[in-house]
């Protein structure tokens, strides 16, 4: 069964460092998303990506964040200069159509020290 994969599963970094979180969405999907979940809190939307550009972003997704689909399979989230408050689980999701189900990856646990 097709699934969304994410690497790495865990990432520890120092404050101010750049991190890149990687995702491989389901192969025939067209819509790609990043969400994050701070420990003990709700899953919250960060950004959506369609047709090789950002279609929507939340207030959290400031200039320190960027997304890219560098090739036909990978979808990346870059945090340019990490802050302590960026520590969270980051989930990638993809869907095949406008209103269709979003399937989530297993997540990357990011810890900023």
Partner 1 sequence: EDQVTQSPEALRLQEGESSSLNCSYTVSGLRGLFWYRQDPGKGPEFLFTLYSAGEEKEKERLKATLTKKESFLHITAPKPEDSATYLCAGPFAMEYGNKLVFGAGTILRVKS
> In terms of CB distance, is 55 or 81 closer to partner 1?
55
- Kindly state the tokens that stand for 38: 């701070």
> In terms of CB distance, is 82 or 95 closer to partner 1?
95
Rounded Cα distance between 2 and 27, Å, is 8
Tokens 């520590």 belong to residue: 87
- Kindly state the tokens that stand for 102: 């979003």
**Least distance in angstroms from the C-beta of 107 to partner 1:** 5
88: exposed, middle or buried (Cβ count in 10 Å: 0-12, 13-18, 19+): buried
> In terms of CB distance, is 66 or 102 closer to partner 1?
102
Residues that bind partner 1 (CB under 8 A): 4, 6, 31, 33, 35, 41-45, 48, 50-51, 55-56, 58, 89, 91, 93, 95, 98-99, 101-107, 109
């Amino acid at each position: 069964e097709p699934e969304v994969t994410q690497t790495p599963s865990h990432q520890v970094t120092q404050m101010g460092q750049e991190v890149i979180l990687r995702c491989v969405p389901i192969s025939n999907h067209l819509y790609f998303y990043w969400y994050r979940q701070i420990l003990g809190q709700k899953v919250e939307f960060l950004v959506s990506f369609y047709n090789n550009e950002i279609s929507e972003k939340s207030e959290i997704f400031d200039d320190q964040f960027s997304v890219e689909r560098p090739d036909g399979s990978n979808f990346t989230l870059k945090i340019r200069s990490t802050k302590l408050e960026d520590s969270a689980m980051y989930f990638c999701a993809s869907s095949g159509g406008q209103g269709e189900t979003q399937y989530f990856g297993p997540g990357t646990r990011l810890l900023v020290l």
